[in-house]
Amino acid sequence: MSTVATLLGELTPAYWQSTLVRVLIIGILVPTGALILAIVFLFKVMAWMQSRLGPYEAGPKGLLQLVAEVGKWLQKEDLIPQGADKIVFKAAPFIILASTFVLYAAIPAGPDPAIAANVPTGIYFILAVSSVSVIGVLMAGWASSNKYALIGGIRAAGQLIAYELPMVLAAVGVVVLAGSLNLQDIVHAQAGFFAFGDWGPALPFIVVQLPLFIVFMSAVQAELTQAPFDMPIAESEIVSGYQVEYSGFRFLVFFLAEFATAFGFAAIVSTLFLGGWYLPIPGLADDLQSGWWYLLGPIILFTKVMIVSFIIFWVRFTYPRFREDQLQKLAWKWLIPISLVWITVTSVAVVVWQ
Amino acid sequence: MTAIVPDSQQRAYVAAKAADARVNLEFESEGMTLNIGPQHPATHGTLRIVAKLDGEQVTSCEPVPGYMHRGYEKLSEVRTYPQVTTLVNRLDWVGSFANEVPFILAAEKLMDVEAPPRAQHIRTILFEMSRLANIVLFLGDLGAQMGGVTAVFYGFRDREFVLNQIEAVTGGRFHPNFDRIGGLKDDLPKGWIAETKVAMKKVADFCDEIEDLLIANEIFQLRSRGVGVIPADIGLSYGLSGANLRASGVDWDTRRDNCAPGLVYDKVDWKVITHPDGDCFARCWVRLQEVRESVRICEQLLDTVPAGPIMAKVPRIIKVPEGESYVETENPLGVMGYYVVSKGDLNPFRLKIRTPSFNNISVVPWVARGVYVPDVITILASLYFILGDIDK
């Protein structure tokens, strides 16, 4: 046991080793995680909350439901409407998916090599990349040459831009507290954040940033276009909005992107507010460069991501949908003022106590 | 023909028009016509709604029924009286036993036959149970229309408790075809009354659950309160009936005020639910409370089913004497009436069906002006129509 600890503790990765770790994390951990997210949260939680039967019945312990769904989509005809702008129509889902997968690159899953791209301004990068998906949505809405798709695309654009602002503002509180835009530094800051002086363990930022956490979660829910903010894909009003003309594999890509984005945003929330890959484990709490973190970090992060995703889907399955004007009112009259007030409070507190 | 006007006046008029046009060009967008339906999830069937939009706002909105017209009124003229129930089962297909009852009562009225007390009791129980099956589905479907998909699964799940009991008696989940002139086809199976009481408990639990999940939800109330307000006089003049009218504060229920002989509502203790607001929320709330009242009615009737035959003496081949009769009952969707004209033949000479949904959606153009697109869906969902009931 101690040999392993020594071995991991003395690990000084060469370039090829760190590249291997990065490839493993991006190539294996993320897709597996997304898959587990899809199976566990989409299907099991959905079945449990909504009394659906499939995920209990399909295959052993209902685990083959995802396989059945993917198989169903793959055998559907790939339709492109006659009046559609074909290139834009075909490209749109992949732009959304790509913007999602780039998100994963900047999220630290452990000490330094366990991050695909340690961008110095990580938060800025992530928030910028996540808003690229708006372009994909607009493209899909416009290129479908369908009135419902157009309404959905325009609703999506309005909503995603309106909720970008509270999201950025909510992240500002964390940045002020950590003193850095780098996600790795934010995790380190939370590892050294003692909210109650010397008493107690290091605490994640959520204990002092709860209002901003709630604002951020609301904005995430809106960015994901999930209930109660699912106006752009309201299936009972505008028949899934910008996705209405998509079928078969392209719809599957939309579907995967939706859940992969949920996973990505859950990872961001865990990193900003819940301490990321760090947990104050006795014995390891002070040694942030210990080799154990390469092993424990991804597991801790993944657990936190699962908890946050659970909250996202819980809200999704509970609430009915807002109307467009009510949705905008919520953003401009509540979320943005709350975050502005809390940023002020945080800044004053940081100046006074640090 | 253009009127002759002084030159200066005409110039001023033209200038004003041009100014208007400039302003309109700047502030108004070109409208868009949106066909909601015939294939659309919110119309649960093939209703088409032609909505003219200005942005997200609806400037005018008109329902176009007729995509599923099956000509049941005309078909009835070549069916014998017992065969007509098979057709009318398909009108309101989620609470279909209730469709048979007013027709059978109208025929019984013409023939001057009365069903025995036991048959009347069971008929009333099944009538109320089809109301339960219908409105439990409505409450679930309401969630789907408003974006809370969870409710619809609960609705479909808990409606089965009622449908199973209907199936146990009649043999059909949706199309029982069970009511007969002069009574019922069969007696109740053994142990049915006890099982039904358990099912009624489950429906009552469903009401609490849906109230927690949906009706009491803040976002639901934000979406439905003050939206689609139908004042009582407008409701009456458009011929609304059922919960839609009672939600506007009109205290009128055919079951209490004008109960057709053959149903035993006078023997139970229940009350008519009204709400003063007349908005979407009121309509949903009234329906929810009516489910609870229906459960109460069923529970009382189940305790007091009298013994005796289930069929009166009627001839083997039913010939209805010459005459006309009109009977209406309070069906799940509203007042349903059958106007039967008989010339003394095996089949009706003419049958006119007054279906509640047809009148209920006629108010849509009036109520859905100037609202947003999502509100159209809320209004349609809260007015609650079944397409078979509109198109006949």
A16: number of Cβ within 10 Å: 8
Q: What is the pLDDT of residue B3?
A: 47
- In contact, A83 and A145? CB cutoff 8 Å: yes
Q: What is the pLDDT of residue B73?
A: 87
- In contact, A225 and A156? CB cutoff 8 Å: yes
C-alpha B290/C-alpha B269 separation (Å) is 13
**Phi and psi for B14 in degrees, rounded to 5?**
-65, -40
- In contact, A100 and A260? CB cutoff 8 Å: yes
Cβ–Cβ below 8 Å for A236 and B147: yes
User: Strand pairing of B48-54 and B57-64?
Assistant: antiparallel
Mention every residue, 6+ apart, whose C-beta is less than 8 A from residue A284.
Answer: A290, A292, A293, A296
DSSP labels, A157-198: HHHHHHHHHHHHHHHHHHHHHHT-S-HHHHHHHHHT--TTTT
Cβ–Cβ below 8 Å for B157 and A51: yes
Q: Measured between alpha carbons, how far is residue A137 from residues A144, A329, B153 in Å?
A: 11, 22, 29
Cβ–Cβ below 8 Å for B222 and A326: yes
Collapsing DSSP states into helix, strand and coil, what is residue A118? coil
Q: How confident is the model at residue B259 (pLDDT cuts 50, 70, 90)?
A: confident
Q: What is the pLDDT of residue B1?
A: 42
Mean pLDDT of B50-62: 81
User: CB of B336 within 8 Å of any CB in chain A?
Assistant: no
Amino acid at A1: M
Q: What is the pLDDT of residues A38-96, one digit of tens each?
A: 566 667 788 888 888 877 777 777 777 777 877 888 888 888 888 888 888 888 888 88
- Residue B320 in this model has a pLDDT that exceeds 80: yes
Least confident of A30-44, A193-207, B98-112: A30-44
Determine whether B23 is exposed, middle or buried from the number of CB atoms within 10 Å of its CB (0-12, 13-18, 19+).
exposed
Cβ–Cβ below 8 Å for B150 and A50: yes
Give the residue among B141, B118, B93, B153 at the shortest CA–CA distance from B331. Answer: B93
Cβ–Cβ below 8 Å for A321 and B32: no
Q: What is the pLDDT of residue B295?
A: 92
Q: What is the pLDDT of residues B116-175, one digit of tens each?
A: 889 988 989 999 999 998 999 888 888 888 887 888 888 888 888 889 988 998 888 888
Least confident of A290-299, B30-39, B197-206, B234-243: A290-299
Q: What is the pLDDT of residues A295-318, one digit of tens each?
A: 777 778 888 888 888 888 888 888
Percent residues over pLDDT 90 in chain A: 0
Q: What is the pLDDT of residues A95-133, one digit of tens each?
A: 888 888 777 777 887 777 656 667 778 888 888 888 888
Give the residue among A346, A3, A349 at the shortest CA–CA distance from A175. Answer: A346
Percent residues over pLDDT 90 in chain B: 3
Q: How confident is the model at residue B25 (pLDDT cuts 50, 70, 90)?
A: low
Mean pLDDT of A170-188: 85
Q: How confident is the model at residue A37 (pLDDT cuts 50, 70, 90)?
A: low
**Phi and psi for A80 in degrees, rounded to 5?**
-125, 125
Q: How confident is the model at residue A197 (pLDDT cuts 50, 70, 90)?
A: low
C-alpha A29/C-alpha A21 separation (Å) is 10
Identify the residue among B57, B149, B218 best suited for mutation to test binding to A, counting A beta carbons within 10 A and taking the highest: B149
Q: Strand pairing partners for B180?
A: B183
C-alpha B64/C-alpha B81 separation (Å) is 31
- Residue A200 in this model has a pLDDT that exceeds 80: no
| DSSP classification of residue A71 | H
Size of interface A-B (CB pairs under 8 A): 77
Q: What is the pLDDT of residues B183-229, one digit of tens each?
A: 888 888 888 989 999 999 999 998 998 888 888 888 888 888 888 88
Mean pLDDT of A156-185: 85
C-alpha B38/C-alpha B53 separation (Å) is 18
- Residue A187 in this model has a pLDDT that exceeds 80: yes
Q: What is the pLDDT of residue B339?
A: 92
Least confident of A321-330, B14-23, B152-161, B263-272: B14-23
Q: What does the block give as tokens for A275?
A: 């301490």
Q: What does the block give as tokens for B57?
A: 């706002």
Mean pLDDT of A188-197: 75
Q: How confident is the model at residue A232 (pLDDT cuts 50, 70, 90)?
A: confident
Taking CA–CA distances from B212, the nearest residue in chain A reads: A318
User: In the predicted model, what is the mean pLDDT of chain B?
Assistant: 84
User: In the predicted model, what is the mean pLDDT of chain A?
Assistant: 79
Task: Compute the 3-state secondary structure of chain A and give helix, strand, coil in percent, each to the nearest 5.
Answer: 70, 0, 30
C-alpha B4/C-alpha B337 separation (Å) is 57
Q: How confident is the model at residue B16 (pLDDT cuts 50, 70, 90)?
A: low
**What is the SS3 assignment for chain B?**
CCCCCCHHHHHHHHHHHHHHHHHHHHHCCCCEEEEECCCCHHHCCCCEEEEEEECCEEEEEEEECCCCCCCHHHHHHHCCHHHHHHHHCCCCCCCCHHHHHHHHHHHHHHHCCCCCHHHHHHHHHHHHHHHHHHHHHHHHHHHHHHCCHHHHHHHHHHHHHHHHHHHHHHCCCCCCCCEECCEECCCCCCCHHHHHHHHHHHHHHHHHHHHHHHHCCHHHHHHHCCCCCCCHHHHHHCCCCCHHHHCCCCCCCHHHHCCCCCCCHHHCCCCCCCCCCCCHHHHHHHHHHHHHHHHHHHHHHHHCCCCCCCECCCCCCCCCCCEEEEEEEEECCEEEEEEEEECCCCCCCEEEEECHHHHHHCCHHHHCCCCEHHHHHHHHHHHCCCHHHHHC
The residue ranking higher by pLDDT, A13 or B275, is B275
**Phi and psi for B257 in degrees, rounded to 5?**
-85, -25
Q: What is the pLDDT of residue A69?
A: 79
- Residue A205 in this model has a pLDDT that exceeds 70: yes
In this complex, the residue of A51, A237, A325 whose CB is nearest that of residue B154 is A51
- Spell out which residues of chain B touch residue A226, defining contact as CB-CB under 8 Å: none
In this complex, the residue of A147, A236, A319 whose CB is nearest that of residue B217 is A319
The tokens 């732009």 sit on which residue?
A: A95
Cβ–Cβ below 8 Å for B223 and A325: no
Q: How confident is the model at residue B13 (pLDDT cuts 50, 70, 90)?
A: low
Q: What is the pLDDT of residue A44?
A: 79
DSSP labels, A213-228: HHHHHHHHHHHTT-TT
Percent residues over pLDDT 70 in chain A: 83
Q: Measured between alpha carbons, how far is residue B43 from residues A224, A307, B34, B153 in Å?
A: 27, 37, 14, 18
Mean pLDDT of A150-173: 85
- Residue A9 in this model has a pLDDT that exceeds 70: no
Cβ–Cβ below 8 Å for A237 and B377: yes
Give the residue among B10, B11, B17, B59 at the shortest CA–CA distance from B34. Answer: B59
| DSSP classification of residue A321 | P
Q: What does the block give as tokens for A295?
A: 């092993």
Cβ–Cβ below 8 Å for B56 and A321: no
Mention every residue, 6+ apart, whose C-beta is less than 8 A from residue B234.
Answer: B363, B366, B367
- Spell out which residues of chain B touch residue A317, defining contact as CB-CB under 8 Å: 149-150
Cβ–Cβ below 8 Å for A227 and B143: no
Q: What does the block give as tokens for B174?
A: 């949706």
Collapsing DSSP states into helix, strand and coil, what is residue A235? coil
- Spell out which residues of chain B touch residue A49, defining contact as CB-CB under 8 Å: 150
Mean pLDDT of B78-93: 87
The tokens 């199936």 sit on which residue?
A: B167
Q: Residue A151: in which H helix or E strand, if any?
A: helix A147-178
Cβ–Cβ below 8 Å for A322 and B217: no
pTM of the shown model:
0.81
C-alpha A79/C-alpha A251 separation (Å) is 10
In this complex, the residue of B147, B372, B373 whose CB is nearest that of residue A320 is B147
A247: number of Cβ within 10 Å: 15
Q: How confident is the model at residue A32 (pLDDT cuts 50, 70, 90)?
A: low
Q: What is the pLDDT of residue A5?
A: 52
C-alpha B342/C-alpha B348 separation (Å) is 5
- Residue A1 in this model has a pLDDT that exceeds 50: no
Tell me how close the Cα of A265 comes to any Cα of chain B, in angstroms.
Answer: 22
Interface of A with B (CB under 8 A): 49-52, 147-148, 151, 227-228, 230-231, 234-239, 317-326
Mean pLDDT of A249-266: 82
- Residue A8 in this model has a pLDDT that exceeds 60: no
Q: Strand pairing partners for B32?
A: B53
Q: What is the pLDDT of residue A328?
A: 84
| DSSP classification of residue A323 | P
Q: What does the block give as tokens for A116?
A: 């695909």
C-alpha A338/C-alpha A218 separation (Å) is 12
Give the residue among A148, A137, A143, A150 at the shortest CA–CA distance from A238. Answer: A148
Give the residue among B376, B356, B354, B381 at the shortest CA–CA distance from B365. Answer: B376
